[in-house]
């Protein structure tokens, strides 16, 4: 049964969706904010918040879990050394989604997702 399974499929099969979300998460960690569609921003928000919460402690298990998800080792190092300690006292809500005007070509709702 699908009770309480509220993940967005983004009109993609499982493997391309996972690759897209990993790429968005890696770029969000590397650059601090990214501009994407509103649906993709809402899909990546719980994933990146879960990983930021994990990166508050620098253990080997956390580092390996982040390495398994993020594409770049620089992103993992940034999560452990900069982002995790920055949000040490914060309980949650590490990201912010700001809605933008719709994209001109296909009228897709656009948004900026950034680290607070």
Q: What DSSP state is assigned to residue 101?
A: P
Pairing type for strands 95-99 and 33-37 reads: unpaired
In angstroms, the CA 33 to CA 115 distance is 6
How far is it, in rounded angstroms, from Cα 110 to Cα 107?
Answer: 9
The answer to whether residue 24 sits within a structural domain is yes
Q: Is position 109 within any domain? A: yes
Inside any domain, residue 4: no
Please check whether residue 26 lies inside any domain of the structure: yes
Instruction: Write down the H helix ranges in 4-98.
Output: 14-31, 38-54, 60-69, 73-78, 84-86
pLDDT at 1: 86
Evaluate whether residue 76 is within a structural domain: yes
pLDDT in tens, 64-98: 999 999 999 999 999 999 999 999 999 999 999 99
* CATH number, position 67: 3.90.1030.10
Domain of residue 41, residue span? 17-115
Residue 6 in any domain: the answer is no
Q: Domains in the chain: how many in total?
A: 1
Q: Does the pTM exceed 0.85? A: yes
* Triad 45, 66, 22: Cα angle to 5°: 50
Give yes or no for a contact between 58 and 80, defined as CB atoms under 8 angstroms apart.
Answer: yes
92 vs 72: CA distance, rounded Å: 24
Strand (E) or helix (H) holding 96: strand 95-99
| pLDDT above 90 for 4 | no
């Amino acid at each position: 049964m699908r009770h309480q399974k509220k993940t967005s499929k983004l009109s993609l099969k499982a493997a391309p969706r996972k690759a897209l979300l990993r790429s968005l998460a890696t770029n969000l960690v590397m650059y601090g904010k990214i501009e994407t569609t509103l649906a993709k921003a809402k899909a990546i928000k719980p994933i990146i918040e879960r990983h930021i919460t994990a990166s508050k402690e620098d253990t080997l298990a956390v580092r390996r879990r982040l390495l398994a998800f993020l594409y770049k080792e620089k992103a993992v190092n940034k999560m452990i050394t900069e982002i995790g300690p920055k949000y040490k006292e914060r309980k949650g809500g590490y990201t912010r989604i700001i809605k933008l005007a719709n994209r001109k070509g296909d009228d897709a709702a656009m948004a900026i997702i950034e680290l607070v």
